Amino acid sequence: MQRHLISAADLTRDDAVLILDTAEEMARVADRPIKKLPTLRGRTVVNLFFEDSTRTRISFEAAEKRLSADVINFSAKGSSVSKGESLKDTAQTLEAMGVDAVVIRHGASGAPYRLATSGWIDAHVINAGDGTHQHPTQALLDAFTMRRRLVGRDAGLGQDLDGRRITLVGDVLHSRVARSNVDLLHTLGAEVTLVAPPTLLPVGVETWPCEVSYDLDSTLPKSDAVMMLRVQRERMNAAFFPTEREYSRRYGLDGDRMARMPEHAIVMHPGPMVRGMEITAEVADSDRCTVVEQVANGVSIRMAVLYLLLGGAEFQTPSTPAAPARTAEENR
Amino acid sequence: MSKTLIRGAKVLGGEPQDVLIDGETITQVGTGLSAEGAEVVEAGGKVLLPGLVDLHTHLREPGREDSETVLTGTRAAASGGYTNVFAMANTFPVADTAGVVEQVWRLGKEHGYCDVQPIGAVTVGLEGRKLAELGAMHESAAGVTVFSDDGKCVHDAVIMRRALEYVKAFDGVVAQHAQEPRLTEGAQMNEGVVSAELGLGGWPAVAEESVIARDVLLADHVGSRVHICHLSTAGSVEIVRWAKSRGIRVTAEVTPHHLLLTDELVRSYNPVYKVNPPLRTERDVLALREALADGTIDIVATDHAPHPHEDKDCEWAAAAMGMVGLETALSVVQETMVDTGLLDWAGVAERMSFTPARIGRAEGHGRPVSAGEPANLTLVDTAYRGPVDPAGFASRSRNTPYEGRELPGRVTHTWLRGKATLVDGKLT
Amino acid sequence: MDTHDPQPLPASQADARPVLEAPDIARVMTRIAHEIVERAKGADDVVLLGIPTRGVFLARRLADKLEQITERKVPVGSLDITMYRDDLRLQPPRALARTEIPGDGIDGKLVVLVDDVLFSGRTIRAALDALNDIGRPRAVQLAVLVDRGHRELPIRADYVGKNLPTSLRETVKVLLAEEDGRDTVLLGAKQTPQ
């Protein structure tokens, strides 16, 4: 693993599988009376949020606290950032306080990359979502959810998603979740199909390692998992699609459409859902929908990432960790 | 008056010759000229070019003296071999009145490093709604002939038509920054494979091409000439080529950076590569070089756009657009056009001196290197190759995309009407 | 960075000599099982927790032996101590092993920790911390296959397969059939770092 987690594309297959396996162990901590590990005692992690995102922030915060890190929440609202202080100055202020890692959410694509590569700070940088670029921990928790549901909790250890057919539906153009998922799922061997109206696909999507379709109905029977992306109502005003009704009719997931999916197939959503837009209440509340699981898995994944980035020594940064204490085989 | 003998210089890249300057004028060009009474500059096989003319420079004064002033900008120009620069109108206040253009023009004269020819705004405040007093700016001491809202596009077709027509009265030209505003809302970089991956707002080529297409048709319709600023796409080249084949009076410029750099560099998210128009693809770069070689694109203009460090030392979206260019332009042109065999030095003189002066109606600039002509000259060590070091820039700003990059060619001497402004690479 | 590395460098197996062979290992495991039954007065509330990797196999073997002796199933699980180690920051991040606590938990039980080699005692310190976050046993005991001495903490084993006096220049390597294809304990010389 690299020192930072900026993009899902930076992860090798082995990195990704290691994170998923580690998260599987982290998940077991949640079942214990004391949901806490001493692993990051004495380490300080800042959650630097330039964009409102209560869900992601509390997920990281829970993960950090379960690993006993000292947590500082820094929200750009009401801080000196809104008074014109630059990202660089903010970062250097945090560095001066002796921060070991910065979890950053920023509206500008590339802000975490800049933070990690501009020499402003020494801390580890974890991207918690930047503009329309990347959201790697979301992709990891999605892959974790898929592996559990499609391969199995224990059977999945050490495994990737080879040959699984994953369909992402909705506003790909503005979605960092879609970008991260395409990168990671491809690395994990899955076959990805993007389904969206042509207006909500970026120019250049043809070079991505995935299929593209405009037709949801023909894709559903060939999907092991269908991930619905949020579609913001504002997009309507910028002529990305005519009306909410037309969008739902062509690209929304309702009970009838869900029935066309294979029996084992799951429905995913990164949240927050826009019920009635991309997903009906019937689908959102069904057993096949993993939204709530995804939230729980988010904490495990973020614990795994924090542990693997911060839990070890600083002076060695091999591409893979030291010899594993066991192979997946043993745990069957 | 002082005399200077430049001995053994390859004039426009030809056979070595001596050039004698007496006062403000070239008095003799030949071999074995007498050095009597003259200071001798041993050219030793360096290439002698007419002083370069930049039709597109941002000097920032008045208003943003923290990034550049007329003094620092003209010193940078002299360092880069320029003797005449056209200063864009997007200052604070905007150069949309005779008063502002005269001030800029006069500052250039006073400092004496490089002639400054102000460009007047097409519309009041660059707002695209109401024509500025184009005639008054032309009649002022600055004698403005080039008008541009650069940084913004004159997007209203009626305003553009009127401006094209109006300046015919005094042989002016409108230099259009071709950028359809609606298609580029929130745009951050060239729209394509890289923008899709990086999640940065796309700046489609068509936003430039559609405006160029409209403007050449308008120019044709009203019988005016039109100049296209910083043309950046292969499609734009096609449109200009077509327009020229139809006899439409269109001229076009390309920047050095669009001849060398591509949008792949944006993967670094380093805002030093953020520029308007954005860096395009390899295919565009090759089309631009070819078009500059075959004359479809008439000139190289720097779009020298200084910005203070803090405007680039930040996240991409928050950063200012633009790059400094005066001090590296000739090196980049040598790298991309001369050393690739696309252009000889006579061709460079044509595209960086003669033609820009002609488009901008700059008197006394862009003249041949021959007896009786004003001694505006620049001497280039074309054998040199070395890394770009922004610390040595005369410009007040350092926002160059070439830091550390090895480039060929180094301007060692510049003369403005016989007066040396640069000697052995040092400003006088 | 070698100076920071507390891990002994692997001794080449050619130089190492066996100090326990498969029959010895089987014999001492049987003995330990009997001792547990004796000290726990029947092993009614014993829970065996092996410390990964090889402690887990030893714990399972002990569980089998206890079952033979008592004719009752003895709960057996594993306790990964990686995240409780005191030398985490001295090495690159390690992959985690499984912690598997038997269904009835450990509250009020006699937990017997099982490991292959007892050395500095730091692993057992970490294991005690880990147990603390999982529940409250009635008592905790420790069973090891080999005690090689050189304790750095006030920790001792309740059941020892073999006391093996060693120097710090030596390495002890336990091989088990489940992981390594054969049962043996090797004593070798530590290679000096170049």
3-state secondary structure of B264: helix
A8-135+294-317 adopts what CATH topology?
Rossmann fold (3.40.50)
Compute CA distances C99 → A31, A68, A329, B262, C56, whole Å.
Answer: 12, 19, 15, 52, 10
Question: How far is it, in rounded angstroms, from Cα B342 to Cα B288?
Answer: 11
User: Domain containing C152: what range?
Assistant: 22-168
Read off the pLDDT of each residue in C109-113 and give the average, rounded to a whole number: 97
Specify the pLDDT at position A150.
97
* Bridging pattern class, strands B419-423 and C76-78: unpaired
Specify the pLDDT at position A52.
86
Is A43 labelled a binding residue?
A: no
**Tokens at B340, concatenated:** 């690739």
Question: How far is it, in rounded angstroms, from Cα B232 to Cα B210?
Answer: 13
Q: Which CATH number belongs to the domain containing residue C122 in this structure? A: 3.40.50.2020
Cβ of A202 and B195 within 8 Å?
A: yes
Asked if the C-beta of A106 comes within 8 angstroms of chain B's C-beta atoms, the answer is yes
Residue C63 lies in a domain: yes
pTM of the model: 0.90
Strand order in the sheet with C17-21: C17-21, C184-189, C170-175
Question: How far is it, in rounded angstroms, from Cα A145 to Cα A310?
Answer: 24
Nearest to A321 among C90, C94, C133 (CB): C94
H helices of A105-215, where? 111-117, 136-146, 176-187
**Contacting partners of chain B (3+ CB pairs under 8 A):** A
Geometric angle at alpha carbon A309, from A306 and A314, rounded to 5°: 135
Distance from CA of B315 to the nearest CA of A (A): 5
Comparing C122 with A274, which gets the higher pLDDT? C122
**Catalytic residue among B54, B150, B215, B303, which?**
B303
- How far from chain centre, in Å, is Cα C163? 14
Distance from CA of A309 to the nearest CA of C (A): 7
Share of chain A above pLDDT 70, in %: 92
Q: Which residue has the tokens 């509340």?
A: A285
DSSP state of B388: B
Q: Please answer whether residues B303 and B247 qualify as being in contact, where contact means their C-beta atoms are separated by less than 8 angstroms.
A: no
Residue C12 lies in a domain: no
pLDDT at position A318 over 60? no
Residue C7 lies in a domain: no
Question: How far is it, in rounded angstroms, from Cα C58 to Cα C49?
Answer: 10
H helices of B167-270, where? 193-198, 205-222, 234-245, 256-260
Asked if the C-beta of A178 comes within 8 angstroms of chain B's C-beta atoms, the answer is no
Confidence at C13, pLDDT banded by 50, 70, 90? low
Is A105 labelled a binding residue?
A: yes
Confidence at C193, pLDDT banded by 50, 70, 90? low
Specify the pLDDT at position A32.
85
Question: How far is it, in rounded angstroms, from Cα A248 to Cα A298?
Answer: 28
Comparing C117 with A319, which gets the higher pLDDT? C117
Find chain C residues with C-beta within 8 A of A315's C-beta: 1, 4
Q: Please answer whether residues C131 and C101 qualify as being in contact, where contact means their C-beta atoms are separated by less than 8 angstroms.
A: no
Specify the pLDDT at position A317.
44
**Catalytic residue among A4, A43, A57, A105, which?**
A105
Find chain B residues with C-beta within 8 A of A113's C-beta: 269
Specify the pLDDT at position C42.
79
List the single residue in C with minimal CA-CA distance to A37: C83
Mean pLDDT, consecutive 10-residue segments, chain B of 428 residues?
A: 91 96 96 93 96 98 95 98 98 96 95 96 97 97 97 97 97 98 96 97 97 98 97 98 98 98 97 98 98 98 96 92 98 98 98 98 96 98 97 97 98 97 96
Distance from CA of A186 to the nearest CA of C (A): 23
Show Cβ contacts of residue A250 under 8 Å, excluding neighbours closer than 6 positions.
A197, A216
pLDDT at position A77 over 70? no
Interface present between A and C (3 or more CB pairs within 8 Å): yes
Residue C84 lies in a domain: yes
Going by C-alpha positions, the residue among A109, A79, A78, A110 that lies closest to residue A94 is A79
Highest mean pLDDT among A168-172, A269-273, B311-315, C39-43: A168-172
Residue C89 lies in a domain: yes
Read off the pLDDT of each residue in A301-310 and give the average, rounded to a whole number: 96
Show Cβ contacts of residue B345 under 8 Å, excluding neighbours closer than 6 positions.
B10, B12, B13, B47, B49, B338, B382
Specify the pLDDT at position C15.
75
Interface size between A and B, measured as CB pairs under 8 A: 75
Is A138 labelled a binding residue?
A: yes
Specify the pLDDT at position B27.
97
pLDDT in tens, C53-92: 999 999 999 999 999 999 999 999 999 999 999 888 888 8
Geometric angle at alpha carbon A1, from A145 and C81, rounded to 5°: 75
Read off the pLDDT of each residue in A22-44 and give the average, rounded to a whole number: 91
Confidence at A271, pLDDT banded by 50, 70, 90? confident
Distance from CA of C64 to the nearest CA of A (A): 18
Cβ of B200 and A111 within 8 Å?
A: no
**Contacting partners of chain C (3+ CB pairs under 8 A):** A
Q: Please answer whether residues B103 and B109 qualify as being in contact, where contact means their C-beta atoms are separated by less than 8 angstroms.
A: no
Going by C-alpha positions, the residue among A105, A119, A111, A121 that lies closest to residue A44 is A121
According to the CATH classification, is domain A136-291 in 3.40.50.1370? yes
Read off the pLDDT of each residue in A6-18 and give the average, rounded to a whole number: 97
Going by C-alpha positions, the residue among A65, A125, A75, A66 that lies closest to residue A95 is A125
Find chain A residues with C-beta within 8 A of B198's C-beta: 109-110, 133
- Hey, do A8-135+294-317 and A136-291 end up sharing a CATH topology, with the first three levels equal? yes
> If you average pLDDT over every residue of chain C, what do you get?
90
Question: How far is it, in rounded angstroms, from Cα A309 to Cα B323?
Answer: 37
Confidence at C5, pLDDT banded by 50, 70, 90? very low
Question: How far is it, in rounded angstroms, from Cα C164 to Cα A275?
Answer: 68
Question: How far is it, in rounded angstroms, from Cα A108 to Cα B315?
Answer: 7
How many domains does chain C divide into?
Answer: 1
pLDDT in tens, A150-168: 999 999 999 999 999 999 9
In chain B the domains, ranked by start, together with CATH numbers, are 51-359 (3.20.20.140)
* Bridging pattern class, strands B189-190 and B202-203: parallel
Count helices and strands in chain B by DSSP H and E runs: 12, 19
Question: How far is it, in rounded angstroms, from Cα A164 to Cα A222?
Answer: 10
> Please, how many CA atoms are within 13 Å of residue A326, restricted to the half-sphere of its CB?
25
Residue C159 lies in a domain: yes
Question: How far is it, in rounded angstroms, from Cα A141 to Cα B130?
Answer: 55
Find chain C residues with C-beta within 8 A of A158's C-beta: none
Residue C29 lies in a domain: yes
Cβ of A25 and C96 within 8 Å?
A: yes
pLDDT in tens, B74-90: 999 999 999 999 999 99
- How far from chain centre, in Å, is Cα C173? 12
Specify the pLDDT at position A80.
53
Specify the pLDDT at position A332.
30
Q: Please answer whether residues C169 and C193 qualify as being in contact, where contact means their C-beta atoms are separated by less than 8 angstroms.
A: no
Specify the pLDDT at position C41.
85
Specify the pLDDT at position C8.
47
DSSP state of B354: I
Specify the pLDDT at position A84.
55
Q: Where are the domains of chain A?
A: 8-135+294-317, 136-291
pLDDT at position A232 over 90? no
Find chain C residues with C-beta within 8 A of A318's C-beta: 92
Interface present between C and B (3 or more CB pairs within 8 Å): no
**Tokens at A95, concatenated:** 């560095």
Least confident of A188-192, A311-315, B23-27, B375-379: A311-315
Asked if the C-beta of A186 comes within 8 angstroms of chain B's C-beta atoms, the answer is no
Instruction: Annotate A47-77 with DSSP letters as a single string.
Output: EEESS--HHHHHHHHHHHHHTT-EEEEEEST
Read off the pLDDT of each residue in C105-120 and give the average, rounded to a whole number: 96
Residue C190 lies in a domain: no
pLDDT at position A234 over 80? no
Task: Please name every residue paired with A226 in a beta bridge, in sequence order, or none if there are none.
Answer: A167, A267
CB contacts under 8 A, A 116-175 vs B, are 117-118, 130-134
How many beta carbons lie within 10 A of that of residue A328, not counting itself? 18
Q: Is the ipTM of this complex over 0.85?
A: yes
**B284 classed as catalytic:** no
Mutate to test the interface with B, among A89, A92, A114, A234 (most CBs of B within 10 A): A114
Is A272 labelled a binding residue?
A: yes
